[in-house]
């Protein structure tokens, strides 16, 4: 008689986001060494959302443990616009994060657009979002010295896939997901849709699933296009696309939701970015790798973005001097 405990051990490797976060932190520490003073991040909290407060506190802790300065400013909804404008012009502030939702309406998008683009650590400014969807990776064209800023949670998912070696580094940068088929369950404007676009821009075939339906994001046959295209898959559901996928990423904000793991391909890689546990325990019987949450990586990506803003600003500051003192050097380098 075999007792339930005789079940063979699962072959699934559970990868905690802490491992990926620590790996990225070493890169952040290298960047910090080049600065004279600790970067200063300001968090503006103007809602009563416990998730936002928790995220702010976790960010503060990570900042303080890693040589960054973090200040939380709690303000009322009525004062948030002025608080953003003040932080924009404060020379002691390098980066600004505003916690959403605040109004839960288009007013939130308005607030996203008034954060100074040189302090926008979350990459929510129009210029960064445009670059992301258009697959424009640099702010300075062919010079390619100033990297554009990508939104933190989508980028955290990408850093996880890089860490898991889903990205094939033998392929050229920009095509490293070629051959992978990825399902993203969530198509919100802040995470799911940008994530699907980024993965497709890197060469994957992406099925983006939301309650409104399924869309396919690709760069076309043989990656012929420079940026992704999107098609609606009328009548298709999660059930049709998940069996095709070697990677499944979930972000459903509900504790009731559980992903149907019987749909998974044997050995699929599963990542959950929702703060709820979207995968049931049985995911371990099917998946080769499982990442249950990614929050710690998101925060390190935020710090990495802050360093990038400072580096980009530094290059902007030296440009005019170089141009007047040594004409032609900029062209010569690019």
Cα angle 86, 92, 93 (rounded to 5 degrees) comes to 60
First to last CA, the chain: 72
What minimum distance in Å lies between the beta carbon of 197 and ligand NAI?
14
Q: Give CA torsion, residues 266, 199, 124, 300, to 10 deg.
A: 60
Q: Pick from ligand NAI, ligand GUE, none: which does 100 bind, CB < 5 to 8 A by kind? A: ligand GUE
Which residues 211-250 are close enough to bind ligand NAI by CB under 6 A? 211
Q: Pick from ligand GUE, ligand NAI, none: which does 253 bind, CB < 5 to 8 A by kind? A: ligand NAI
Using CB under 6 A, which of the segments 40-48, 78-86, 128-136, 180-188 binds ligand NAI? 180-188
As a whole number of Å, the CA-based R_g of the chain is 21
C-alpha distances out from residue 190 to 71, 155, 186, 317, Å? 24, 11, 10, 31
The single residue listed with the structure tokens 């049931």 is 280
Q: Report helix, strand and coil shares of the chain as percent, to nearest 5.
A: 45, 15, 40
Integer Cα distance of 119 and 117 in angstroms: 5
Using CB under 6 A, which of the segments 19-27, 29-37, 159-167, 252-260 binds ligand NAI? 252-260
Give bridge partners of residue 291 from the DSSP assignment: 271
Give bridge partners of residue 72 from the DSSP assignment: 43
Site membership for ligand GUE, residue 55 (CB under 6 A): yes
Site membership for ligand GUE, residue 93 (CB under 6 A): no
Do β-strands 289-291 and 247-250 pair in parallel, antiparallel, or remain unpaired? Answer: unpaired
Catalytic hit among 12, 152, 183, 270 = 152
Q: Pick from ligand NAI, ligand GUE, none: which does 122 bind, CB < 5 to 8 A by kind? A: ligand GUE
Site membership for ligand NAI, residue 304 (CB under 6 A): no
Count of beta carbons in the 10 Å neighbourhood of residue 312: 20
- Closer of 58 and 263 to ligand GUE (Cβ): 58
User: Binder to ligand GUE among 201, 218, 298, 312 (CB under 6 A)?
Assistant: 298
Site membership for ligand NAI, residue 275 (CB under 6 A): yes
Which residues, other chains included, contact 327 with Cβ-Cβ below 8 Å and sequence gap of 6+?
none
270 is catalytic: no
User: Binder to ligand NAI among 49, 240, 276, 285 (CB under 6 A)?
Assistant: 276
Site string for ligand GUE, 97-136 (x = CB under 6 A): xxxx---------------------x--------------
Chain positions contacting ligand GUE, by CB under 6 A: 17, 51-52, 55, 58, 97-100, 122, 153, 275, 293-296, 298
Active site residues: 152
């Amino acid at each position: 008689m075999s007792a339930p405990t005789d079940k063979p051990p699962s072959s699934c490797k559970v990868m905690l986001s802490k491992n990926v976060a620590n790996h990225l932190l070493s890169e952040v520490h290298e960047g910090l060494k080049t600065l004279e003073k600790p970067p200063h991040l300001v968090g503006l909290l103007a809602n009563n959302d416990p998730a936002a407060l928790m995220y702010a506190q976790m960010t503060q802790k990570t900042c303080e443990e890693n040589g960054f300065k973090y200040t939380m400013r709690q303000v009322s909804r009525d004062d948030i616009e002025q608080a953003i404008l003040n932080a924009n012009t404060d020379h002691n502030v390098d980066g600004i994060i505003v916690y959403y939702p605040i109004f839960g309406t288009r007013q939130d998008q308005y607030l996203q657009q008034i954060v100074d683009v040189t302090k926008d650590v979350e990459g929510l400014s129009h210029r960064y979002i445009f670059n992301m969807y258009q697959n424009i990776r640099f702010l300075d064209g062919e010079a390619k010295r100033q990297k554009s800023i990508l939104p933190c949670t989508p980028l955290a998912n990408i850093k996880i896939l890089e860490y898991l070696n889903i990205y094939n580094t033998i392929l050229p940068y920009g095509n490293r997901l070629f051959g992978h088929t990825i399902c993203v369950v969530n198509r919100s404007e802040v995470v799911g849709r940008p994530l699907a676009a980024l993965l497709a821009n890197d060469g994957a075939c992406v099925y983006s699933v939301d309650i409104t339906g399924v869309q396919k994001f690709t760069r076309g046959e043989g990656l012929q296009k420079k940026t992704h295209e999107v098609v609606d898959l009328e009548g298709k559901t999660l059930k049709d696309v998940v069996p095709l996928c070697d990677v499944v990423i979930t972000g459903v904000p509900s504790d009731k939701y559980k992903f149907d793991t019987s749909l998974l391909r044997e050995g699929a890689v599963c990542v959950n970015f929702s703060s709820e546990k979207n995968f049931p325990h049985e995911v371990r019987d099917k998946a080769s790798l499982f990442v249950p949450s990614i929050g710690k990586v998101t925060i390190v990506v935020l710090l990495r973005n802050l360093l990038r803003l400072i580096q980009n600003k530094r290059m902007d500051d030296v440009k005019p001097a170089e141009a007047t003192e040594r004409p032609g050097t900029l062209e010569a380098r690019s």
